[in-house]
Amino acid sequence: MGMTMTQKILAAHAGLDKVEAGQLIEADLDLVLGNDITSPVAIKEMDKMKVNGVFDKDKIALVPDHFVPNKDIKSAEHCKCVREFAIKNEITNYFEVGEMGIEHALLPEKGLTVAGDVIIGADSHTCTYGALGAFSTGVGSTDMAAGMATGKAWFKVPGAIKFNLVGKPKEWVSGKDVILHIIGMIGVDGALYKSMEFTGEGIQNLSMDDRFTIANMAIEAGGKNGIFPVDDLAKAYMKEHSTRNYTVYEADEDAVYDEEYTIDLSALESTVAFPHLPENTKTLSEIKQDITIDQVVIGSCTNGRLDDLRIAAKVLKGRHVAKGMRCIIIPATQAVYLSAMEEGLLKTFIEAGAIVSTPTCGPCLGGYMGILAEGERCVSTTNRNFVGRMGHVDSEIYLASPAVAAASAVTGKISGPEQL
């Protein structure tokens, strides 16, 4: 019986020739990640352990991004805690305001995540790095503390679901539509504690930004991780962004999968997740009534990369957001912001009546920079639309791609670019 891609990575990091689903292992870590919300809890846990420093100052990344720049005294205290810990322990990869970004866009951009890594992060969307062929998964702050102290973590080896992607997406259909389609198909617990392994010739038709988006939302299907094969595009990305050596793992031909699905990318349509779960999906053609909205957010660790902003700008160019509409655009990192500025995308956004924010997770988790009032509706490129996620418990969030979000900002109702 062979191993999946994920199982091979975990076996190598546990020093074992073979692992199988359900097995408990202790694995060496290549990177431990925390942000301004989760790191202070981990730091307090480390204090209780009475350990002398961290296991490796080069293998910890601390990224204040949720409430940064600080929105209030409490968030300032959290960031101060992280800052002092980073200075005390000489953490190499601590990213202060001015060099920070949304963590899951920033770390690949900085070359800190590569194929074959085992990465844990005290943030559920740490599964993003599977786009590069790494095993990465979210953990609690206590596990983050143990990881920072020892460089190791316990795992139960996950089973796997295989998603065979074929075909080429139509115009305006992106990675966000692919993952929303999958979540709508299998449900928010359809991949519970399983590795979502993506294969097939259709992957060549997905950009790296598409893949990051798909891997990012594996957790929204309950997945332990999402992972892509390491093809020429992934290798080119790592060559451009990283100086680290990487290891390519491939699933065995006789690897065991709990389920297998084939998805024809050419048949997919623009997809929207209705309140209040990511599985509550409808294609634009299935939406028969006008759904008026109050706000659009384009950004987050899911869809704040340069490709996302280019798509939004293509839709907004020469158009204007609807009267009374708030359109908030958040580049995911400083580098994305700078590139968007140099390409003229920010000018397009501002001329269209949108605002552009510094990189932050802000509105995604109901923090700031776009909180919803009672009864308001938002089309968002973020990853969750739970009750009260972006503000009032009686507000509504509709998850969509940058193309749909931008078009909806123009019309004032849920729309696709082809409807403009």
CATH tag for 5-264 (out of 3.40.50.620, 3.40.190.10, 3.40.50.10490, 3.30.499.10)? 3.30.499.10
Cβ atoms 269, 173 nearer than 8 A:
yes
Query: Domain extents for the chain?
Result: 5-264, 271-419
pLDDT digits (tens, 9 = 90+) for 210-245: 999 999 999 999 999 999 999 999 999 999 999 999
Contact partners, residue 344, CB within 8 Å, separation at least 6:
none
Q: 83 is written with which tokens?
A: 């800052």
In this prediction, residue 100 carries a pLDDT of 83
- Decide if pLDDT at 420 tops 90: no
CATH of domain 271-419: 3.30.499.10
Q: How far apart are CA 56 and CA 92, in angstroms?
A: 9
- Decide if pLDDT at 1 tops 90: no
Determine which helix (DSSP H) or strand (DSSP E) holds 263, and give its type and residue range.
Answer: strand 259-264
- Decide if pLDDT at 50 tops 90: no
Q: How far apart are CA 20 and CA 1, in angstroms?
A: 9
In this prediction, residue 38 carries a pLDDT of 95
Q: For residue 379, what pLDDT band results from cuts at 50, 70 and 90? A: very high
Q: 182 is written with which tokens?
A: 């999958």
Closest by CA position to 132, among listed 46, 53, 211, 219:
211
Neighbours of 241 (CB within 10 A): 18
Share of the chain above pLDDT 70, in %: 100
Tell me whether residue 7 is exposed, middle or buried, using C-beta atoms within 10 angstroms of its C-beta: 0 to 12, 13 to 18, 19 or more: buried
- Decide if pLDDT at 54 tops 90: yes
Cβ atoms 381, 300 nearer than 8 A:
yes
Q: How far apart are CA 179 and CA 261, in angstroms?
A: 13
Three-state secondary structure of 249-307: CCCCCCECCCEEEEEEHHHCCCEEECCCCCCCEEEHHHCCCCCECCEEEECHHHHCCHH
Burial 56-75 (b: 16+ CB within 10 A, else e): eeebbbbbbbbbbbbeeeeb
Share of the chain above pLDDT 90, in %: 94
Q: For residue 299, what pLDDT band results from cuts at 50, 70 and 90? A: very high
In this prediction, residue 280 carries a pLDDT of 95
In this prediction, residue 347 carries a pLDDT of 97
Residue 207: C-alpha distances to residues 113, 232, 322 (Å): 17, 11, 31
In eight-state DSSP terms, residue 359 is S
Asked if 5-264 and 271-419 have one fold, the answer is: yes
Helices (H), 50-193: 73-88, 103-109, 141-150, 175-186
Mean pLDDT of all residues in the chain? 95
pLDDT digits (tens, 9 = 90+) for 238-285: 999 999 999 999 999 999 999 999 999 999 999 999 999 999 999 999
37 Cα distance to chain centroid: 16
Compute the Cα dihedral for 282, 280, 297, 136 and give only its sign: negative
Q: How far apart are CA 116 and CA 96, in angstroms?
A: 28
pLDDT digits (tens, 9 = 90+) for 92-133: 999 999 988 999 999 999 999 999 999 999 999 999 999 999
